[in-house]
Chains A and B, each alone.
Chain A
């Protein structure tokens, strides 16, 4: 049964439907039936392969069964059972055997081999099958209990059925069939028709086999029986045609079954999706609940704090009042004591005249004093107010736990090119994933292009900041300004690629809906583009700005004037920097927030494009310089290369020779270069994390930093002696810079 178990495993690992995998609880005797059913599964899922599978299975089984049949001369009921378990396989084997041995020649032998069960099989199988087939439709919906009864009745109908074993087998088989899902049953039915094909062909060639179908009894019979047996008065039909009609019916049912399978599969995958949705919803609810709970707890805590504080305050007040009273009590007592002492002293006075004098005063004093009211009332009660924490706010919060917050306003994407025709428009918008949205409402109104007196005037054209353009082979960063009293809603960029043909004014691309005065445009390498900007508001669109030309050859950047050290001058072409005197680098010249204060340097504009960038710096032989790259946040009080936010090549002249350093974090390798470079090529490779320096005149590689640049960098330049540096941009990357 090895191949059987193979297919069993196959079946178990498939995740077709959860129901099937729960199949194992099946009566022990039908372990084989499980296998048989598995077979049917395979049969069903590939409708085209249905008939193909049968022969394969058969060949797999054949050798074994042949062996079985050969070895044993007589089929025991057990063996028959096993053969039965092979199910219709036996039928196939029979057919094969018949073919092998030659039907006409060795019919006797064959029968002998199979222990005479062939006939039994032949006569028994079809009724069982066809009966089943007939009731296919009902099996779909029938409960499990119904079928066995049919089976019972079936078995009684069967003729010439010897042995309990076969009957049990039949019932077991039927039961197993019923237990399976309906499509299994129909698979069986299908296989039976397949079987019956072979069986039929075999039968036809058999002289003693049934060749007529009795419609009344729904079983095949021999012509002989019709004439002389109980079927005399029954309706009969030729076996082939009966076969055909049965097949048709089976086929119809099969189709229905396939439909069902599709439905169930869809449903299963839908269920899988729903699983996920349930999880998501759960997550959302959980989060929501947590938030609300936290809010409530927070409010509660707050209230508690408030009340506690008020309580404390009350206590303080009470104590203060009481203390005040105590103090005045004490004072009073003091005065009393004083008077008492004074009076007592008075009595010690022997001189009657003085006594009288003092006594009179005393008496007055005492009287005066006693006139004062003595307040013996408690200024404050020891009991505290009743305080209650107000839960109403918390209640409100808890109650609002199930309210779905209104979604945030969706953001409409700016109009993309080619989304509008004369009569239609495509609008796209984005949604916040936290929101639950049931539906959207789109509102629109046509906006008139004409200027009407009570509407806004269209804006005036903006001005592109020519000097601030940055570009590389694949992109350009353009910015502009719009000095306009009229409000501007958005900008439109129009760009046209310049070809060798006439300088046509055809716009090849326009980018609309730009909210700020800056745009990053993706371009093709080694092309020239003309770019201009329009400003838009409700009043319409402005005229085009003055155009700029952008060449996508090499990388192009400019210098950030506001980073320049006061002693560093930028010459007219914007790419030459010079330093005249070094008297006092930390001088009193005006310093901008962003400029270098010690290092006489300047930053180029940021190179915000990924990939490789190349530029050259021309130096004089006696210029001492630092050139390289730096992050935006490189300290302006520091020196280029002395910190971990800058990398540079440094040239200084010592009495004996030219000295070169490649500085980062203040460290440099020990390097000697025999030919002082006059034109230094710098290759910035963001992708491969490398900054390389070359002697561009002789294509000599000098040094490379390997550093993962976490941010985009600026080119940087600094002078250490009076001199000039000329910067060259827009150069295509030379081939000799490629990794050797």
Chain B
């Protein structure tokens, strides 16, 4: 598995907190590193940024390259339980355990300070990882996340394919989230085509959070383009 990592100047002399970025559908570990332009901000704040890939590649699983929203480039950050995916498609464990272990062992990280953020499918990944691991991440932010996958087309396809359950749905998870401190920030483009297509469903998530009293600040921005960052 490939990942991209940015080390700020501060990392030369001190341990830095780590920010994990999860990319969306069809992305690789390159998209964020190459296109986002986060480097200056990360340098200023002394943050290490890690951008993993969105799925395992070259697994030779039949059908893995058939669609852009399922299989290669669409890991959905879950541990698949169904064949033929369950051997290779374990993105959830990868992001939760394997990758941090690797990063902490090889780079000057402060293992106590970790946060997670992502876009779209990555936003979904960030939310579920944070919600399923209370206290592990200091903050979670999501850009146009898929908030309620079991209710939208993408989610139904992916989660149906990888899993049998809804254990990886942010909106569902929120409903049973223990009252532990979590700071969630979500940004969503107003004219996002996928918002209007009902793929993202942030309202469901917000309603659930409101009910559960999970602090979220959700910003509807003027952006219309759903470009990968």
Contact residues of A with B, CB < 8 Å? 657, 669-675, 695, 698-703, 739-740
Contacts and interface: CB of A to CB of B under 8 A. Distances in A.
A674 B220 contact: no
A700 B217 contact: yes
22 contacts: A669-B221, A670-B190, A670-B219, A671-B219, A672-B206, A672-B216, A672-B217, A672-B218, A673-B215, A673-B216, A673-B217, A673-B218, A674-B213, A674-B214, A674-B215, A674-B216, A674-B218, A675-B210, A695-B215, A699-B183, A700-B217, A702-B217
A675 B213 contact: yes
A674 B210 contact: yes
Interface in B135-180: 139
Nearest to B219: A671
A674 B206 contact: yes
Contacts of B221: 669-670
Nearest to B181: A698
Given A675-B215, A700-B215, A670 B181 contact: no
Q: Which of B139, B181, B190, B215 has the most CB of A within 10 A?
A: B215
B190 to A, nearest CB: 7
B209 interface: yes
A699 B221 CA distance: 23
Given A674-B206, A674-B210, A740-B139, A669 B220 contact: yes
Contacts, number: 49
Nearest to B210: A674
Contact of A670 (B45, B209, B214, B220): B220
Contacts of B139: 740
A675 B212 CA distance: 9
A669 B213 contact: no
Contacts of B214: 674-675
Counting chain B residues whose Cβ lies within 8 A of the other chain, the interface size class is 10 to 19
Contacts of A698: 181, 215
Contacts of A672: 206, 216-218, 220
Contacts of B181: 698
Contact of B220 (A671, A695, A703): A671
A701 B217 contact: yes
Given A675-B214, A700-B183, A740-B139, A669 B206 contact: no
B218 A671 contact: yes
B224 to A, nearest CB: 14
A673 B209 CA distance: 10
Contacts of A671: 217-220
Contacts of B215: 673-675, 695, 698, 700
Nearest to A698: B215
A703 B217 contact: yes
Nearest to A675: B215
B14 to A, nearest CB: 18
Contacts of A702: 217
A655 to B, nearest CB: 14
Q: Which of B183, B210, B217, B219 has the most CB of A within 10 A?
A: B217
Contacts of B213: 674-675
Contacts of A695: 215
A669 B219 contact: yes
Interface in B196-229: 206, 209-210, 213-221
B147 to A, nearest CB: 12
B195 to A, nearest CB: 12
Q: Which of A672, A695, A698, A701 has the most CB of B within 10 A?
A: A672
Nearest to B183: A700
Nearest to B214: A674
Nearest to B174: A674
Given A669-B220, A674-B209, A700-B217, 15 more contacts: A671-B217, A671-B219, A672-B206, A672-B216, A672-B218, A674-B213, A674-B216, A675-B210, A695-B215, A698-B215, A699-B183, A700-B183, A701-B183, A701-B217, A740-B139
A85 B183 CA distance: 83
A581 to B, nearest CB: 31
